[in-house]
Amino acid sequence: MTEVHNLRDVAIIGIGETQIGELWDKSLRELGIEAGLKALKYAGLHGDEVEKLYVGNMSAGKLINQEHVAPLIADYAGISEVPSTRIESGSASGGMALAEGYKAVASGMEDIVVVGGAEKMTDVGEQEAKDILSSTADQEWETVFGATFDSLYAMMARYHMDNHGTTKDQLAQVAVKNHANAAKNPNAQYPRETSKKFVKNAPMVADPLGMFDCAPISDGGAAVVLCPAERADSFDGDPVEIVSLGQGGDHMAVHERRDIGTMKATERAAKKAYKRASVKPQDIDFAEVHDNYTITEIMAIEDLGFFEKGEGGRATEEGKTELNSDISINTSGGLKAKGRPVGAVGLNQAVEAVLQLRGEAGERQVDQPGYGLIHNIGGTGASAIVHILRRWS
Amino acid sequence: MPIPRFWREIKQRYKGIGSRCENCGKIYFPPRKICPECRRESFQKMEEYELEGKGEVVTYTKINEPHPEFEMLSPYIMAIVETEEGARLTGHLVDADIEDVEPGMKVEATMRKLGEESRDGLIYYGYKFWPLDR
């Protein structure tokens, strides 16, 4: 980070990810361990080198009645002696955990840090899982009056349509593109293509958002191993550098924000990340952006500076965000089609970024990417985090 | 919702009592102890302020998949309303046809039942909105 002095450069040397989906046969601890062990194996580590574990998890207390999940996962990973901490920031828990891991290594406090994310959402019914997601909105001034999580994003979509001319066709195109990418991702929950007609004809959830404008409820885990970049070459494979990060905040309730069609938290996070990395939005070749709803991706690609405000829908419709077009957005399939194990999402994004930068993304590989960006939103946008990555050399 | 958690907010939910920053004059709902604009200068200068209850729709949606407590009302309209005093609230828009709802539509707050704990339990009341022109 050029702007912040005396920080060490930080590299990702290992990545691991579980299948994402309705995984009836796997518990939260199993998901966390599977991802973590895969990440250690990828880096060529045994486990006893790990000095610190961060776990991104949104709501194990409500979803499986289990708090204190970081030491639980450490214990069953066979490293009960390792200090571990859970990080929570709604659906940005994974991204925020990655930020804490980065800071631990950059500061010189720790050398080898594992950052994992895991969420077990299908041990409760779908309705209950959706209610738990909506608990990241303001319970006393939004949901008690009958607002659902879907409806808060639906109002952003309506506002965006009224103010920028965004259309339902453009929203649907986000889902079509992300499904096309997920079809090339073996870990995706929905690895199959869909059509605009199919998305648009789905039952309405909260107008203008239909069922296929929404990300699913998912189980899954993902993890990365971090180390000081100067030591990265001593581990297996080509390391990827976390060049910078930026975090942003905004009002908790959607109604408090003057421009409901813009996520200020994203803008603020991106501004800091770009400045610290000394790069511009035009320098980014691919991005994993938070697409819990189709509208969220359209707002994100504007608020991250890839397109002018109001142009996100049109750009999507013109194919500018498809794989290997102007900027490849959500090559993994995104939350929409790869899936949404909510507290793991930020780590799922990091895994995809590393695969892309190392040239290991298979059929969905971006041509020789320089910089990748990952963007994770908490709740309806009161918190957001952006990381910028590139190959370490 | 536990009884004290609802009871604590009765004044705001029944009467629309927010707060006014004596430093800059800005009006907030729900009430705040600190004005985000003035911060330290507003400390201990936030006064209670009762909203008139009139305003206009900023944006809206029709909910087809409601929270189970609101199942009986489905589909229903939720709106973000900006009051004449400049505060913004989220609420249910009743007695309106979705076809007639648009940004800028004039609405007014009305006291309605929000839900109930059980057949013999506590009933929650609070504000909803209805069209001014009805």
Same-domain status, A314 and A170 = yes
**CATH number for A30:** 3.40.47.10
Q: Of A183, A202, A234, which one is at a domain's C-terminal end?
A: A234
Q: What is the ipTM of this complex?
A: 0.96
Same-domain status, A249 and A382 = yes
Strands B76-83 and B54-63: antiparallel
Same-domain status, A229 and A325 = no
Residue A5 falls inside a structural domain: no
Per-residue pLDDT of A142-153, as tens digits, reads 999 999 999 999
Same-domain status, A22 and A89 = yes
Residue A2 falls inside a structural domain: no
Residues comprising chain B, all counted: 134
Distance CA B10, CA B116 (A): 15
Same-domain status, A376 and A299 = yes
Chain B CB contacts of A143 under 8 Å are 67
Same-domain status, A200 and A300 = yes
B1: number of Cβ within 10 Å:
17
B98: number of Cβ within 10 Å:
13
Q: How many CA atoms lie within 13 A of A274 on its CB side?
A: 16
Q: Which is nearest to A328 in space by CA: A370, A287, A290?
A: A287
A158:B60 CB<8 A: yes
A255:B62 CB<8 A: no
Portion of chain A with pLDDT greater than 70, in percent: 99
Chain A CB contacts of B59 under 8 Å are 155-156, 158-159, 162, 260
Per-residue pLDDT of A303-337, as tens digits, reads 999 999 999 999 999 999 999 999 999 999 999 99
Residue A250 falls inside a structural domain: yes
- A contact residues 133-162, partner B, Cβ 8 Å cutoff: 134, 140-148, 150-152, 154-159, 162
CA-nearest residue to A256 within chain B is B88
* Average pLDDT of chain A, as a whole number: 97
Most B CBs within 10 Å: which of A134, A138, A141, as the mutation test of the B interface? A141
Q: A204 pLDDT band (50/70/90 cuts)?
A: very high
Res. A366: pLDDT tops 90: yes
Distance CA B83, CA A222 (A): 45
Same-domain status, A296 and A306 = yes
Residue A3 falls inside a structural domain: no
Same-domain status, A55 and A90 = yes
Chain A CB contacts of B88 under 8 Å are 255-256
Residue A329 falls inside a structural domain: yes
Res. B69: pLDDT tops 90: no
- The residue-averaged pLDDT of A17-32 equals 98
Beta bridge partners, B80, equal B59, B90
Range of weakest confidence among A23-32, B8-17, B87-96: B8-17
Chain A CB contacts of B92 under 8 Å are 145-146
Same-domain status, A174 and A33 = no
Q: Can you read off the two tokens belonging to residue A16?
A: 């691991």
Res. A5: pLDDT tops 80: no
Distance CA A243, CA A273 (A): 9
Same-domain status, A108 and A145 = no
CA-nearest residue to B60 within chain A is A155
Backbone conformation region of residue B14, classed left if phi is above 0, alpha if psi is from -120 to 50, else beta: alpha
Report the residue from A144, A162, A256 with minimal CB separation from B1: A144
Residue B52's SS3 state is: coil
A203:B30 CB<8 A: no
Q: Does domain B53-131 have CATH number 3.40.710?
A: no
Backbone conformation region of residue B104, classed left if phi is above 0, alpha if psi is from -120 to 50, else beta: left
Per-residue pLDDT of B80-98, as tens digits, reads 999 999 999 999 999 999 9
Domain boundaries, chain B: 53-131
Per-residue pLDDT of B109-133, as tens digits, reads 999 999 888 888 889 899 999 999 9
Cα–Cα separations (whole angstroms), residue A162 to A181, B39, B63, B80, B105: 29, 33, 18, 14, 14
Same-domain status, A196 and A64 = no
Q: Of A201, A234, A267, which one is at a domain's C-terminal end?
A: A234
Q: A4 pLDDT band (50/70/90 cuts)?
A: low
- The residue-averaged pLDDT of A236-245 equals 94
Same-domain status, A256 and A329 = yes
Most A CBs within 10 Å: which of B12, B17, B65, B81, as the mutation test of the A interface? B65
Report the residue from A144, A154, A203 with minimal CB separation from B61: A154
- Nearest chain A CA: its distance from B133 CA (Å): 22
Most A CBs within 10 Å: which of B1, B17, B34, B67, as the mutation test of the A interface? B67
Chain A CB contacts of B103 under 8 Å are 159, 162
3-state helix, strand, coil in chain A (%, to 5): 40, 20, 40
Distance CA A357, CA B21 (A): 51
A206:B128 CB<8 A: no
What is the number of domains present in chain A?
A: 2
CA-nearest residue to A133 within chain B is B67
Residue A327 falls inside a structural domain: yes
- The residue-averaged pLDDT of A124-137 equals 95
Its domain, for residue A223, covers 10-124+218-234
